[in-house]
Structure 1
Amino acid sequence: MRRVGGLKDLAGAYDALLCDVWGVLHNGVAAHPAAVDALLRFRETAGPVALITNAPRPARAIREQLRSFGVPDDAYDVLVTSGDVTRMVIAERPGVRLLPVGPDRDRSFYDGLDAVIASEEEAELVACTGLVDDTSEAPDDYRPLLERLVARGLVMVCANPDIVVERGDRLVYCAGALARLYTDIGGKAVLVGKPHAPIYEAARRELAGLGGARILAVGDGLPTDIRGAVENRIPVLFVTGGIHAADFGPHDAPDEARVAARLSAEGLKAVAYLPALSWNGAGRSA
């Protein structure tokens, strides 16, 4: 594994890119301009770009969010969300009575589903997209509810396996934190986003349709992006300055020994690393 100056150093060996969104392309508030530039340049010189995200909402909602953050539509070819893949799982049970757990902003997750929104007492399946208020709540606040649902033997379908994500300069809990607590209590949770195979299978199908065969993944999350790429046999570029930045020393000068030791300890590997996604270590240039 080596540090590279930018995506340009690897682009010649690949004809498709599978790029994480939150933590690599934006921080939950605004886009990283150099990362946007890197995607534009890869599309110009190498091949198609697929964005892969554990966001619990459908692609159309995330596309609108990306535009609001400053990510143009021409920075990528396709967008694969954990929300869309999770909807496929629910669609296998037409007419199922769902108990939604999550914030109002995720209501688009349920649009068009052949399912009935139900009360806790009537539900047959739990659909978790996150905490209702991730600015003030913690997973343990949900323990009484989750214990009641586990006692009824309900399965939880989790639309976002992430435990935490960065939002600006803070970390907030995601649906994955509730799914983890659910299984700790004794319940069953179904997760299809990163690092699990279904979302990678969906992304591969999309890229194959665009002629992309030699895929490079890019991500910052060890338990999701990096593990998902490794377990699905996709070479991966590790962005160290994302969610794990504090573990590797100065943001712009991560300690290579620390990076290598952490990957080894987790049983993971990457083809290369860099602090933040860019084309050549700067903004748009030759």
Structure 2
Amino acid sequence: MSRIVTALSDISAPYDALFVDLWGCVHNGVAAIPSAVAALQQYRQSGGIVILVTNSPRPRKGVAKQLVHFGVPQDAYDDIATSGDSARSAMYRGVVGTRVWHLGPDTDSRFFEPLNLLENPVEITRVPLDEAEGVVCTGPFDSLADPESWRPDLEAALARGAKLLCANPDIVVDRGEVREWCAGAVAKMYSEMGGESLYFGKPHPPIYDLARRRLHALGNTIADDRILAIGDGILTDVAGAIGEDIDSLFISGGLAAAETKTTEQPDPDALSAYLETEKSAPTFTIGHLR
């Protein structure tokens, strides 16, 4: 059974760094969560390092700008690792070809800005689906639409034998009180149809490698047993931490609030049943990051 705790400070002392999810933990897609911001500020004041590890398809600078808009202060974190940056690096190495179709909203167009961190990146050209070698998915065109509306485009991509690069493995997120589909749901459907989907965010290793590089760039080499991962996604944040042999703090009041009967804290019996159903074992659980 995951140990239920009342505050981050109850368990943070053994950890030199945190890998912290954003959506559902630090903000709700509309505004910062004050208790979470205060907890991270306190942790950093005690000497800890906070790397925000997010499945956002946006580049790091775009996420930082979004955090300002949400009211998350810069002194709540040290750096950011995004699924978008990990996926962009792969795209510019040519993993889905050089002629790609973008499946996603126009607001994600910065995903295709030149990436100058790689030696000899390939040249990427955005083309219509019927000319594409591969698909770059940053999310559905309409995050509230019936998923069956995605099927015709995915069938066309499948017929071309196109690989799909998924820039955000999340299935859903909650924007305030509204639940929205993410790129991970599209990639899951494509895989179920027989297509090949490539993932670069949580729970997959590339984003954790990027997070460790962010730590190293700050002048820190920290052993995995001194890192705590925090997040509300049992299939992304917690599963990724377990796969990396990193301890985890599950935020039960996010995506699984209903299943765990979380208000301030989860109902122990409901939490136990949920974790049994999901075959998951986070190290710790708390209702909301504080």
In the superposition, the TM-score normalised over structure 1's length comes to 0.93
Matched, 1:141 2:142: no
Aligned residue number for residue 162 of structure 1:
170
CA contact (8 A) 1:11 1:46 kept: no
Q: Give the CA deviation at 1:99.
A: 0.3
- What's the CA shift string for 1:66-124, capped at 9, x where partnerless? 11000011211110000000011111129801100101111111111531011112111
Secondary structure of 1:121's aligned partner? helix
Q: Structure 1 regions of 5+ residues with no counterpart?
A: 279-286
Aligned partners of 2:214, 2:262: CA distance in 1, in Å?
37
Aligned partners of 2:272, 2:287: CA distance in 1, in Å?
14
- 1:132-281 matches, within 5 Å, as 132-135=141-144, 137-210=145-218, 211=220, 212-213=222-223, 214-278=226-290
Q: Count how many residue pairs are aligned between Structure 1 and Structure 2.
A: 277
- What's the CA shift string for 1:145-192, capped at 9, x where partnerless? 110110110000010011100001011000111101111111100011
Letter of the structure 1 residue corresponding to residue 57 of structure 2: P
Aligned residue number for residue 33 of structure 1:
34
Aligned residue number for residue 109 of structure 1:
111
Secondary structure of 2:131's aligned partner? coil
- 1:9-158 matches, within 5 Å, as 9-93=10-94, 96-112=98-114, 114-135=123-144, 137-158=145-166
CA contact (8 A) 2:4 2:285 kept: yes
Secondary structure of 1:49's aligned partner? strand
CA contact (8 A) 2:172 2:181 kept: yes
Letter of the structure 2 residue corresponding to residue 167 of structure 1: R
1:34/1:271 CA distance change after superposition, 3 Å:
same
- What's the CA shift string for 1:246-279, capped at 9, x where partnerless? 011241131112212322332321221111001x
Aligned partners of 2:173, 2:67: CA distance in 1, in Å?
16
CA contact (8 A) 1:16 1:46 kept: no
In the superposition, the TM-score normalised over structure 2's length comes to 0.92
Aligned partners of 1:92, 1:275: CA distance in 2, in Å?
40
Letter of the structure 1 residue corresponding to residue 15 of structure 2: Y
**Identity level (%):** 45
Q: Give the CA deviation at 1:41.
A: 0.8
Q: Give the CA deviation at 1:201.
A: 1.3
- What's the CA shift string for 1:5-28, capped at 9, x where partnerless? 111011111110110000100110
Letter of the structure 1 residue corresponding to residue 139 of structure 2: G
Q: Which moved more, 1:201-210 or 1:44-53?
A: 201-210
Secondary structure of 1:89's aligned partner? helix
Aligned residue number for residue 282 of structure 1:
none
Letter of the structure 2 residue corresponding to residue 85 of structure 1: S
CA contact (8 A) 2:79 2:214 kept: yes
Which structure ranks higher in relative contact order (CA pairs < 8 Å, sequence separation ≥ 6)?
A: 1
CA contact (8 A) 1:19 1:219 kept: yes
Aligned residue number for residue 119 of structure 2:
none
Secondary structure of 1:5's aligned partner? coil
Q: Which moved more, 1:49-58 or 1:91-100?
A: 91-100
Secondary structure of 1:200's aligned partner? helix
Secondary structure of 2:168's aligned partner? coil
Aligned partners of 1:154, 1:245: CA distance in 2, in Å?
37
Secondary structure of 2:11's aligned partner? helix
Aligned partners of 1:178, 1:100: CA distance in 2, in Å?
13
CA contact (8 A) 1:59 1:79 kept: yes
Aligned partners of 1:18, 1:158: CA distance in 2, in Å?
21
Secondary structure of 2:229's aligned partner? strand
Aligned residue number for residue 5 of structure 2:
4
Aligned partners of 1:122, 1:102: CA distance in 2, in Å?
17
Aligned partners of 1:265, 1:208: CA distance in 2, in Å?
37
Letter of the structure 2 residue corresponding to residue 106 of structure 1: D
